[in-house]
Amino acid sequence: MPVDRSSNKFQINKIQLKILNLLEEEDLGLTISQIAEKIDLNRNSTAKYLEIMSEKELIYKREQGPTQKLFYPIRKSKAFEARADYMVKFYQTLHSSLFYDFLGDPKKAREIGIQMAKKGVTELYSKQFETIEKTFENIVTFVGLAVEITYPTPLVKAKVYKKDPSSFIIEIFNCICDGIPEFKSICEIQVGLFKGVIDAMLAPEQVDVDEIQCRVDGADSCKYLITRQINSDEDQ
């Protein structure tokens, strides 16, 4: 039998309309699973519709971390963008005033990052991947990707590369240091956060963390080398 293409087209539009009407009633955003349940469609098919609709700018997609996405009516996009711009400028001004003007040493931000990890950031990161086996590789990979939700803008993206069995590189694109020396402490605090969080999750083992490339020095991205400390017993 020939395929009734007009019927298929109508079905696609009908589902899109359901999604649009649903999101208009949910200003706080919905996940793929929540939308799938409400429109009575399987999750995989719903995800495909949502990706197509977000690409066509019919709806607004916001990534909430390595594994979760929230979808909103498109009218929310400008509000999110304006808020992100405001928060980035506020964050930059805070760092410049505190570490550049008041303390006079951006590297002091590392100590703050380590303390933040102890005060609760480690717990926040852990909730992103509670079911993941806590191996060194998994911890670094997911902590690296969780970076995307710690910055006040969705433009920041992260990739994790395996250098060798005992070290990884976390690369951050669009870091909000913006290549400006006054904002260097933004990268330094990330050094402390990486060390504090990974040490806590890998305990009793520890890691060394170094920023090996920075936009402040003219690079296109910021890179951090995470190296697992090898104790003397393992060397023997």
Domains, the chain, in order of start with CATH, read 5-73 (1.10.10.10), 85-235 (3.30.1380.20)
Residues 128/134, Cβ–Cβ less than 8 Å: no
Task: Give the number of other Cβ atoms within 10 Å of residue 234's Cβ.
Answer: 10
Among 24-38, 200-214, 221-235, which is the least confidently predicted range? 221-235
**pLDDT over threshold 80, residue 9:** no
Categorize the per-residue pLDDT at 236 as very low, low, confident or very high, splitting at 50, 70 and 90: very low
Average pLDDT, the chain: 86
Task: Report the half-sphere exposure of 93 (CA within 13 A, side-chain side).
Answer: 6
**pLDDT over threshold 60, residue 233:** no
Q: Which residues contact 35 (CB under 8 A, 6 or more apart)?
A: 19, 22, 23, 46, 50, 71
Q: From 67, 36, 38, 68, select the one nearest 50 (Cα to Cα).
A: 36
Cα separation, 139 vs 35, in Å, equals 30
**pLDDT over threshold 90, residue 164:** yes
Categorize the per-residue pLDDT at 67 as very low, low, confident or very high, splitting at 50, 70 and 90: low
pLDDT digits (tens, 9 = 90+) for 41-56: 999 999 999 999 988 8
pLDDT digits (tens, 9 = 90+) for 213-225: 999 999 999 999 9
Q: From 114, 123, 168, select the one nearest 144 (Cα to Cα).
A: 168
